[in-house]
């Protein structure tokens, strides 16, 4: 009997204090995080951090040894069938039946899900359209590029119309164009209301795509929340980035004026660009005060934004040195 919990939250994935050992080796060490419905949630961590292990537990291929994992409110220990009906899992390393055509391959999986011959034609046409593969249905898989094979693999995951997609490093080995096209397909799937959980060991790869992210290292959660909040400067003193209009590329001349503005703590010119990073004391001024002062001093503003930490900086701050084997 299935035992969907009355769920204390509406999270699609709820991971609470999960630990998993391979013999003496602690692959997961009390990991916890949640994934909201209809979000595109990144799962990032260095090699050996525990991403694949977590994904396998979420998709019911591996039983958790301790802690709790719920998917759509179903416990992964007891409700395997109910969960499998609603998820699509794309593993990091997969083998395909490469001597099949794209159509035969997808039709084979639709048949494995128990769909009738009539439904299968429609389903395969739908997933081919979703992955922009309509024109390739009669191509042999072995003749397709890696990017195209990855799309077929994604199409295969969509055959049972899952509400949650679990994708393990889907962009690895793809060239920039194939990556961008894959990301566009994922955005479209999210627009259709699917929740997408996507792992990568490269934070920058997911930064533009994902609205929320969990960073994991050595089996522990290092950050889980909105992508924007991760990139905010951690300092208590907000930092803003000012770009000035230049004439003949001349950028000097504003530094001294900027330093004298009320509430400004420090001003750093950005090397090689007509830009400054300005830190303010929030007890003495705010963003509106700073902008007013800039206008009062006739600084020619060409652009102004809150400074964000560089992604790599955020990732390095949160994860430890050394590769885990």
Ligand X SMILES: Nc1ncnc2c1ncn2[C@@H]1O[C@H](COP(=O)(O)OP(=O)(O)OP(=O)(O)O)[C@@H](O)[C@H]1O
* Distance separating alpha carbons of residues 278 and 108, to the nearest angstrom: 59
Which residue of 8, 22, 249, 252 would you call a contact of ligand X, by CB under 6 A? 22
- Burial class of residue 219 (count of CB atoms within 10 Å of its CB; 0-12, 13-18, 19+): buried
| Cα-trace Rg, the chain | 24
Asked if 25 touches ligand X (CB under 6 A), the answer is yes
Asked if 27 touches ligand X (CB under 6 A), the answer is yes
Structure tokens at 269: 């010119």
C-beta of 167: minimal distance to ligand X in Å?
13
Which residue of 48, 64, 88, 238 would you call a contact of ligand X, by CB under 6 A? 48
CA-CA-CA-CA dihedral for 225, 32, 84, 146, to nearest 10: 60
C-beta of 30: minimal distance to ligand X in Å?
14
Q: Which of 215, 208, 171, 182 is nearest to 43 (CA)?
A: 215
C-beta of 28: minimal distance to ligand X in Å?
8
| DSSP classification of residue 295 | H
* Distance separating alpha carbons of residues 125 and 268, to the nearest angstrom: 56
User: What is the per-residue binding string for ligand X in 187-226, x denoting contact by CB under 6 A?
Assistant: --------------x-------------------------
Q: How many residues does the chain have?
A: 325
Which residue of 6, 47, 95, 247 would you call a contact of ligand X, by CB under 6 A? 47
Structure tokens at 303: 């652009």
Asked if 49 touches ligand X (CB under 6 A), the answer is yes
C-beta of 10: minimal distance to ligand X in Å?
27
Which residue of 53, 150, 160, 221 would you call a contact of ligand X, by CB under 6 A? 53
Asked if 146 touches ligand X (CB under 6 A), the answer is no
Structure tokens at 104: 């035969």
Structure tokens at 210: 């994902």
Cβ atoms of 43 and 168 closer than 8 Å: no
C-beta of 33: minimal distance to ligand X in Å?
14
C-beta of 236: minimal distance to ligand X in Å?
33
Name which of 51 and 136 has its Cβ closer to ligand X.
51
Q: Please, what is the angle between helix 146-158 and helix 102-112, to 10°? A: 30
Asked if 283 touches ligand X (CB under 6 A), the answer is no
Name which of 201 and 277 has its Cβ closer to ligand X.
201
Name which of 27 and 155 has its Cβ closer to ligand X.
27
Would you call 224 helix, strand, or coil by DSSP?
strand
Asked if 149 touches ligand X (CB under 6 A), the answer is no
Strands 13-22 and 239-244: unpaired
Asked if 51 touches ligand X (CB under 6 A), the answer is yes
By the criterion CB under 6 A, which residues form the site for ligand X? Answer: 22, 25, 27, 45, 47-53, 201, 324-325
């Amino acid at each position: 009997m299935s035992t969907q919990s009355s769920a204390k939250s509406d999270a699609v994935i709820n991971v609470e204090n999960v630990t998993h050992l391979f013999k003496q080796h602690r692959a997961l060490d009390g990991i916890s995080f949640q994934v909201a419905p209809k979000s595109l949630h990144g799962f990032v961590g260095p090699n050996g951090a525990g991403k694949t292990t977590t994904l396998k537990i979420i998709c019911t291929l591996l039983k958790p040894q301790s802690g709790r994992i719920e998917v759509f409110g179903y416990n992964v220990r007891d409700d395997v069938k109910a969960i499998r009906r609603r998820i699509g899992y794309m593993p990091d390393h997969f083998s395909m039946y490469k001597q099949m055509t794209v159509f035969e391959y997808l039709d084979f999986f639709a048949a494995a899900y128990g769909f009738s011959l009539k439904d299968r034609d429609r389903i395969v046409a739908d997933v081919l359209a979703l992955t922009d593969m309509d024109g390739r249905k009669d191509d042999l898989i072995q003749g397709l590029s890696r990017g195209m094979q990855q799309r077929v693999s994604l199409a295969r995951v969509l055959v049972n119309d899952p509400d949650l997609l679990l994708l393990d490093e889907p962009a690895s080995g793809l060239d920039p164009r194939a990556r961008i096209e894959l990301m566009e397909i994922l955005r479209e799937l999210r627009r259709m209301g699917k929740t997408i959980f996507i792992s990568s060991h490269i934070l920058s790869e997911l930064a533009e795509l994902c609205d929320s992210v969990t960073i994991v290292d050595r089996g522990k959660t290092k950050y889980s929340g909105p992508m924007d909040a991760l990139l905010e400067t951690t300092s208590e003193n907000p930092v803003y980035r000012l770009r000035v209009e230049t004439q003949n590329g001349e950028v000097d001349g504003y530094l001294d004026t900027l330093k004298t503005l009320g509430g400004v703590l420090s001003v750093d010119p950005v090397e090689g660009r007509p830009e400054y990073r300005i830190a303010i004391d929030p007890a003495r001024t705010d963003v509106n005060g700073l902008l007013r002062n800039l206008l009062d001093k006739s600084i020619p503003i060409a652009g102004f934004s809150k400074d964000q930490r560089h992604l790599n900086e955020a990732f390095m701050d949160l994860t430890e040195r050394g590769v885990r084997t």
